[in-house]
Amino acid sequence: MNYWFDMDGVLVQYDRDGYTGQNPKYLQLGSHYFRDLKPDSKAIQVLKILSERNKNKIFILTTISNLGSLYMEQMTDKIAWLRKYCPFLNIQTQFIPAVSSKRDIVEAIRKPDGLGIGLNDVLIDDWNTNLNEWTASGGLALKYLNGINSPNENNKQVSYQGINLTEDMSAEDIVALLDMITATALIP
């Protein structure tokens, strides 16, 4: 199994204020917005448990601006954040910045080998678009609920219809659920 973890809203606590207004802080060059965000200790614990089992199958797949100087700042800050809170990761092999769709990035990486996204690829993300694209490409996607992106019971069309990792779950619960799901996946 390959596990693909999002940063913002999963490993990093989502900060709504950083994304609002005419000139949101995350797009302000020089703000170093991503460097000092608070970690989500539960998601990091899940990452650590899975990493201890199979380090070479864990990846951080995070969106970064495609604007030159801002790209460099966000990339540097996200790497610094990971080194601080996830020192067990190998940034060289496990960190993948995405300037376009996460699905498209992974498919591009695998294209030379004739591979795509399959049931042995699990995305843990908080954004429905990423989750839906991943599922449409044949992968397994789980929505990480972070208190801001909870399911919309009144409008199912704006909620992710796949499995949701709820806020009441512990890291151990999430790992057990992942084990259960991946044990039943058809792995080639």
| Number of domains observed in the structure of the chain | 1
170 pLDDT above the threshold of 70 = yes
pLDDT digits (tens, 9 = 90+) for 110-165: 887 878 899 899 999 999 999 999 999 999 999 999 888 876 666 555 578 889 99
Q: The domain spanning residue 51 has which CATH number?
A: 3.40.50.1000
- 4 Cβ partners below 8 Å, 6+ apart? 59, 61, 102, 106, 121, 122, 123, 124, 125
How far is 17 from 36, CA to CA, in rounded Å?
14
Structural domain harbouring 131: 2-184
In the predicted model, is pLDDT for residue 3 greater than 60? yes
Starting from the edge strand earliest in sequence, which strands make up the sheet with 95-98, in order?
A: 95-98, 58-63, 2-5, 121-125, 140-144, 164-165
Query: Could you report the per-residue pLDDT of 95-107, keeping only the tens digit for each?
Result: 999 999 999 999 9
Cα angle 139, 4, 69; round to 5:
120
Q: Please answer whether residues 60 and 89 qualify as being in contact, where contact means their C-beta atoms are separated by less than 8 angstroms.
A: yes
